[in-house]
Amino acid sequence: MKRFLSFIFVFLISSAAAAETITVAAAISLKDALTVAAKQYKAQTGEEVEFSFAASGQLASQIQNGAPVDLFISAANKQIEDLSKAGAIDDSTRKVIAGNSLVVIVPPENKSPPDSLKGLAGGKIKRIAIGEPRTVPAGQYAQQAIKHAGIAAAVKDKLVMGANVRQVLDYVERGEVSASLVYATDAKMAGEKVRVAATVDADAHEPIVYPAAVVKASKKAVAAKKFLEFVLSEKGQAALKEFGFSPPPAVAVKSPK
């Protein structure tokens, strides 16, 4: 009996040691979907996932400066490429987990919203919020779309920069701006707090993708890869789909000229 109890004790200690908590730095637009995925992952594996959500550029900078992160999920290729060039990620683990689209939103009380991106140049639109393009992928995509529509000069003085896409969303929810460009998933999450005025043509900006990679300095690389595999699994993809994300693109799409 004592031998059996000793075996059980050793087994439980070993199981506890095997279950690791990893830290995932992820684009803030993924917050709701990844939180659900992590709960499902814990139920399936018993392993915890802690998150740091922010603008992709901010997170990439933190990782490059030695932040203790195991897995990075960006909202654009640029941040992953920058970390790759710096030797900060394991390139063999790079995967795209999802896609998204860009929309123009306005406060719900707006009775005559612009029906296209070019409508943002109109006199009724006083202030337009976008993410800070230097650090926020949603802002980079928005800037590309504005340039593609030929309205960059017309809206230059109307632009209000947000620290991340959720802040840009808040500006519209609070009625502090006339319109903003956000991900379709964020507009969906906001529900009746905002009104979708137009969907931006995918050809107007670089493909919106969410690439992920294990951080090279991670001491929990195996556990990080395991969670990444879960996100790419049928159950993980279902969680992303529930919040409006599209599946990872099957082929690369050319950037707009």
**Three-class HEC string of 107-174:** CCCCCCCCCCHHHHHCCCCCCEEEECCCCCHHHHHHHHHHHHCCCHHHHHHHEEEECCHHHHHHHHHC
Is 147 found in the same domain as 220? no
* pLDDT value for 249: 79
Say which residues have a Cβ less than 8 Å from residue 172's Cβ, sequence separation at least 6. 105, 106, 107, 129, 179, 180, 182, 190, 193, 194
108 and 195 belong to one structural domain? yes
Looking at residue 3, what is its pLDDT? 52
Q: Is residue 253 part of a domain?
A: no
- What pLDDT score does 165 carry? 93
Mark whether 90 and 174 lie in a shared domain: no
183 lies in the same domain as 93: no
| Residue ranges making up the domain that contains 232 | 20-98+210-242
Residue 4 domain flag = no
131 & 198 share domain: yes
Q: How many domains does the chain have?
A: 2
Whether residue 175 is found in the same domain as residue 50: no
Among 156, 182, 204, identify where a domain stops.
204
My answer on whether 65 and 154 are in the same domain is no
- 64 and 50 in a single domain? The answer is yes
pLDDT (0 to 100) of residue 20: 85
- Domain presence at residue 181: yes
Task: Confirm whether 5 is domain-assigned.
Answer: no
Judge whether 29 and 184 are in contact, CB under 8 Å. no
Q: Is residue 156 part of a domain?
A: yes
Asked if residue 51 belongs to a domain, the reply is: yes
- Residues 36, 114 within the same domain: no
Residue type, 190: A
> What's the Cα-to-Cα distance from 142 to each of 36, 116, 135, 204, rounded to whole Å?
28, 13, 13, 9
Domain containing residue 107: CATH number: 3.40.190.10
Looking at 204, 227, 251, the residue that finishes a domain is 204
Residues 198 and 168 in one domain: yes
Alpha-carbon distance 129 to 170, whole Å?
10
Question: What is the pTM assigned to this prediction?
Answer: 0.87
The dihedral built from the CA positions of residue 133, 213, 73 and 242, taken in this order, carries a sign that is positive
Tens of pLDDT, residue by residue, the chain (257 residues) = 555 444 444 444 444 445 689 999 999 999 999 999 999 999 999 999 999 999 999 999 999 999 999 999 999 999 999 999 999 999 999 999 999 999 999 999 998 899 999 999 999 999 999 999 999 999 999 999 999 999 999 999 999 999 999 999 999 999 999 999 999 999 999 999 999 999 999 999 999 999 999 999 999 999 999 999 999 999 999 999 999 999 987 644 333 33
Query: Considering the domain boundaries, does residue 2 fall inside one?
Result: no
Task: Identify whether residues 90 and 107 lie together within a single domain.
Answer: no
* Residue 115 token pair: 């029906």
Q: Is 157 exposed, middle or buried (0-12, 13-18, 19+ CB in 10 A)?
A: exposed
Same-domain status, 125 and 152: yes
Q: Kindly state whether residue 81 falls inside one of the protein's structural domains.
A: yes
- Alpha-carbon span 60 to 185, nearest angstrom: 22
